[in-house]
Structure 1
């Protein structure tokens, strides 16, 4: 009899579906980064990923569905890294972990992809609707992480710190927008560090020294 431990595991239909979906999303990402949203037609995405139009349409009936899903997928991947960091954070460190993660979202392609799609959504109502739905889902998950960080905060300060952390999200979005048109990274980092220190003061009730860099 064959050694079953050495036989390759057969992929289920769900595994194949998930793999194909991930392949399509990667092709959409790569096409968007190379050509911008205007050049990221469904045909261009198929060419990038080397799959048929029928394969794409089986998973995403509309172009707007595809790029709405891409934004959600990138957001979930980023939140997965936050989840891992929060789970291993020492007591009292979850606010620092959250703020460090938030700044890290300015790195890589996440913000660039979001800006490309959001700009297009201004004149494409269906795309805007898909992006709004995905953004609401991600915001709900993000609020859950904020609530988790608040477990380290005195009850009397929790509402203030929650508002400060939610404001931090919008602050980073604004920074990302300015950086996309050549903003000063060092100046923004210094401001964000000062703001982060303010959040920590709200959370602890004590004046903390500036963080060492």
Structure 2
């Protein structure tokens, strides 16, 4: 009995170390993907940046593509959790405009850059497509509620909010892609005012 208790006592630190190693690997993979791009990112570079052995990487991830997709999903999950933990934004005259600005802000930074690398690479890689597609569908479902929280209950309860959300996300992703070759201040993006007008009309007129 005492042996079993002793074993249970040491299992948690082992699990914590394994989880910490996994997080280091995922963080290293994301930074490599953003800085070097998909084609130039290798398992060797990831393991060196994470400070772990190659065996530690391959033990947790069967392939480079699986690792890179997991890294993007890991960061997306953290961002989603952070948004969900924030208090819901109160309704007001500027709630729609603020919601559009908050949604646009999520299209900036390393997460979108890394995701773009995978999207482009998947076009010519059936192996990456097979790994990425189900994860993208899962992420699409996971971000619906956080986006609704950005706008607040009053706006997100509009019968056509789902259509508006899809339209805004699709359009913002397309515009964000142009920042890869034409960097600029996203706060001055001309489409921001277009998206805000569109959102107001959609919510206020019911579609």
TM-score bracket, normalised by the shorter chain, equals 0.7 to 0.9
Could you say what secondary structure the match of 1:140 adopts? helix
How much has 1:100 moved relative to structure 2? 2.6
Alignment of 1:144-183 (within 5 A): 144-146=145-147, 149=151, 151-153=153-155, 157-159=158-160, 161-182=161-182
Q: C-alpha deviations, 1:16-38, integer Å up to 9, x for none?
A: 22211110011112222332211
Query: Do the aligned partners of residues 95 and 138 (structure 1) sit closer, same or farther apart at CA in structure 2, a change above 3 Å counting?
Result: farther
Output the TM-score relative to the length of structure 2: 0.80
Which of 1 and 2 has higher RCO (CA within 8 Å, sep 6+)? Answer: 2
Query: Do the aligned partners of residues 34 and 88 (structure 1) sit closer, same or farther apart at CA in structure 2, a change above 3 Å counting?
Result: same
- Is contact 1:82-1:98 (8 Å) kept? no
CA separation in 2, counterparts of 1:46 and 1:187?
36
Output the TM-score relative to the length of structure 1: 0.78
Corresponding residue number in structure 1 for 2:115:
114
How much has 1:147 moved relative to structure 2? 5.4
Gaps of 5+ in 2: 1-10
Corresponding residue number in structure 2 for 1:6:
none
Alignment of 1:44-59 (within 5 A): 44-59=45-60
Structure 1 vs Structure 2 CA RMSD = 2.8
Name the count of aligned residue pairs: 194
Farther-moved stretch of structure 1 (185-194 vs 60-69): 185-194
